[in-house]
Chain A
Amino acid sequence: MSETVTLTIDGQSVTVPKGTNVLEAARTLGLDISAFCYHPGLPVVAQCRQCLVSIEKNPKLQPSCQQVVGDGMVVHTTDPASTLARKQQLEFTLVNHPIDCPICDKAGECTLQRLYFDHDNADSRVDTPKVHKDKAVDLGPHIVLDQERCILCSRCIRTCDEVAGQHQLEFAFRGDHEELTTAPGEQLDNPYSLNTVDVCPVGALTSKDFRFTMRAWELEATPSVCNGCATGCNVEIHHKNGRAWRLVPRHNPQVNKYWMCDEGRFTYHSAREERLAAATVDGLPAGWDRALASAAKRLGVFLKDASQVGVVLSALHTNEDNFALASLAKAWGAGHVYIAGKPPVPARADGRLRVADVNPNTAGVKAIAEALGLSATPAFELGTTLPANLRALVVLGDVLPGLDAGKLRELEVISIAAHERGPVPSARVALPAADWLEVSGTITNAQGLVQRMHAAFGPPGQAIPAWEAVVRLAHATGVKLAWTHPREVFKDMTAAVAPWKELVWAREARPLALRFAGSRG
């Protein structure tokens, strides 16, 4: 137990670890001291002066983000002096702000808007023309800057320095002509650049991907976990009308803190592409009943000697999907079990959040196969040594490296996938599954953390969660798997996989309408 310090804020006593700043101490009491430049994940600069508070026996107001707590310190956040200081500071911040909220993408989740209503809420007293700066400045591949809206809090500069470790942004000029620009010879192109858009307390930095598509208050947020790589950054899916519009990081001190990489943010695009929305037989839409009957008939021939049947688990699907298929493989007594996944990308690994393994659930699939006593081999070995007795293959997911379409057509391939790509077009029977934005389940990241994903919206067409497709396939082949909810699969799975024995299924999260979420950034 580290040392603690006890202080009084607005008459309430609070005990916090030594070295905490006053602003964080106040937040533990539920007192939200306003601030623009302070971000809990970034170094403190005390630049915006919006968090001034009075501290007894201190002649001047102190920025609470920089002021470290002391034993017996008495802090006032609502006294006339500090209230007036914050109101006047906000007025200063607004002197040259263009107030173009109607076309600003941040409107609705803007810290400046919120603090204006909280602290100032008065008409402008400025009767001179505002200083005009450049609008829609292209900073890099993903980001556009509006220099007029910038309130010079330097959060983005610190984000580039700290999160990406690259100094790509700087301030230039002085006074009310001061503006944010790229550092000499640089552009904002680091792999974590879009975190600057999240931390921006106003609409100065906007993402080209999200710009002018949706207003913040129209969206709903569902918590989930990024499926871009094995790190498993916690994200919020911001969605509306049955599609995702952006992914933003969700705070998790053990995994991704406040950040995620740009590549991960764009994974929602491919989730909509090439969707398999109907069950198909020989490439033609057939509906579930006919497809299942056809799959059962084709598999039935080989299940008499199950060593001819292979099952491919997927490192891109949830633990529940894989556990369901692994259980089915075990019930069949399938002769071959493989684990498919995308090949690693060593260039991605940077010692920060990005890792070489671009499959979200590699650790989970391995743990499940091991716990069920299945000797699983990586699927890319199929390409080099195709077992002589392999006749039928049940493939989970749309990634199967090593086997080309010609070789796949020699086998009876039953595919359970969300997208019509990879092995799916060559499959005799393809069963449509939900993609990661649409499933409720868990995945296991490289650290071995089992993290919960929530379904943001329903899958398209006839698609159902993959574990449910496995259950239907099992019933068609005469194997009884009695699961009706991912919670039940999870329960059986945690009973079977020893390291996950203690885990508890988290309740379904209701989507949060962002219009009630306050500001972001």
Chain B
Amino acid sequence: MSAAHHEEETVTEGPKVLATRGRVRTVQVVRPNPHDTSFLAATATGLGITLKHFARNLFLPLRSAKSRAKAGAPVDESWKNEIETVQYPDEKVTYPERFRGLHRLTLREDGAVRCVACMCCPTVCPAHCITIVPEESNSKSIEKRPAIFEIDELRCVVCGLCVEACPCDAIRMDTGVHAHPVEDRADAIENRESLLGRGVRSIAHQGGEGPDWRATAAEKSPSGDVNR
């Protein structure tokens, strides 16, 4: 039954069969009309639409001034809001809040890098574009920090998984900046300094009790002693 159904389907979907002789089938070939393939009518219609918008935009300031004068309001530039296009390099559209742009590394309250080089982001990165070399920091509360933190923005697929994986709110993609055009591939590699250069202070708690939990723990503790 299913075979018959399948056959029926192929017949209806394929070209119309005029005659079948053995394995040879004569089918009807439908060729488009010349006036369709020339696209003359479609081009004219398209140009008409373009002209319509052109004319509308051309007289927008006049219309706007006229209607505002009628309403008794002063003439202004608000008519620009009705034009869809922007003068790109000079003006830019604002991106949605969750747009994923260039990475940045956030800072702690004391200005040090928040990243603890836990390697979660290079582990989860599907493009293997993050390279971290950790080192021991001189801070006793957060012992580890990145000595080298590099992101190859050419390789990055802008998926945002590194931001999801980060347990410290140390890496973010909320700069709203595109990856810059570069003349040399090596220039597309963002290093620790350039990532921190875009950095902001994060207010998320770190180390469970915040970055200076040792000092605050002594205040909170009834005996004033952190260790015993």
Contact = CB atoms under 8 A, between A and B. Distances in A.
Given A132-B227, A133-B227, A211-B136, A103 B144 contact: yes
B34 interface: no
Contact of A103 (B140, B143, B213, B226): B143
Interface stretch (A17-25, A212-220, A226-234): A212-220
Interface in B50-109: none
Contact of B134 (A100, A134, A213, A217): A213
Contact of B142 (A103, A129, A133, A215): A103
B146 to A, nearest CB: 10
Contact of A132 (B116, B120, B167, B214): B214
A11 interface: no
Given A102-B167, A102-B168, A132 B123 contact: no
9 contacts: A98-B208, A99-B208, A102-B118, A102-B168, A103-B143, A129-B220, A129-B221, A215-B123, A217-B123
Q: What 9 A-B pairs come out closest when comparing CB atoms? A: A102-B118, A103-B144, A215-B119, A212-B134, A103-B116, A102-B167, A132-B226, A212-B144, A102-B116
Interface string B151-187: 0000000000000000110000000000000000000
A407 interface: no
Nearest to B209: A129
A60 interface: no
B228 A136 contact: no
Contacts of A129: 209, 217, 220-221
- Secondary structure class of chain B's binding surface, majority of residues: loop
B208 A102 contact: no
A510 interface: no
Contacts of A101: 118
A332 B142 CA distance: 64
B207 interface: yes
A217 B123 CA distance: 9
Nearest to B135: A212
B217 A132 contact: yes
Contacts of A103: 116-118, 142-144
Contacts of A211: 136
A135 B140 contact: yes
A101 B116 CA distance: 11
Most chain A CB neighbours (cut-off 10 Å) among B119, B120, B141: B119
Interface string B119-141: 11001000000000011100011
A255 B136 CA distance: 36
A177 interface: yes
A217 B142 CA distance: 21
Contacts of A217: 123
A217 B116 CA distance: 17
A172 to B, nearest CB: 11
A268 B48 CA distance: 76
A486 to B, nearest CB: 33
Interface of A: 98-103, 107, 129-130, 132-136, 173, 177, 211-213, 215, 217-218
Contact of B136 (A98, A99, A102, A212): A212
Nearest to B140: A135
A103 B144 CA distance: 6
A218 B119 contact: yes
A102 B135 contact: no
A213 B141 CA distance: 19
Contacts of B116: 102-103
Contact of B120 (A98, A102, A130, A173): A102
Contacts of B142: 103
A126 to B, nearest CB: 11
Nearest to B170: A102
A173 B225 CA distance: 15
Nearest to B166: A102
A132 B167 CA distance: 21
A177 B117 CA distance: 30
A18 to B, nearest CB: 47
B147 to A, nearest CB: 9
Most chain A CB neighbours (cut-off 10 Å) among B120, B123, B143, B228: B143
B115 to A, nearest CB: 10
A212 B140 contact: no
Contacts of A218: 119, 123
Given A98-B208, A103-B142, 19 more contacts: A99-B208, A102-B118, A103-B117, A103-B144, A107-B118, A129-B209, A129-B217, A129-B221, A132-B214, A134-B227, A135-B141, A136-B140, A173-B228, A211-B136, A212-B135, A213-B134, A215-B119, A217-B123, A218-B119
Most chain B CB neighbours (cut-off 10 Å) among A136, A211, A215, A218: A215
B143 A136 contact: yes
Contacts of B135: 212
Contacts of B214: 132
B143 A177 contact: no
A471 B138 CA distance: 53
A323 B220 CA distance: 71
A177 B228 contact: yes
Contacts of B167: 102
Nearest to B220: A129
Contacts of B220: 129
Contacts of A173: 228
A510 to B, nearest CB: 21
Nearest to B226: A132
Nearest to B228: A177
B91 to A, nearest CB: 42
B210 to A, nearest CB: 12
Contacts of A213: 134
A448 B123 CA distance: 43
Nearest to A133: B227
B102 to A, nearest CB: 24
B54 to A, nearest CB: 58
Contacts of B207: 100
A289 B217 CA distance: 70
A113 to B, nearest CB: 14
A312 to B, nearest CB: 41
Contacts of A215: 118-119, 123
Contacts of B140: 135-136
Nearest to B116: A103
A132 B168 CA distance: 21
Contacts of B141: 135
A173 B228 CA distance: 10
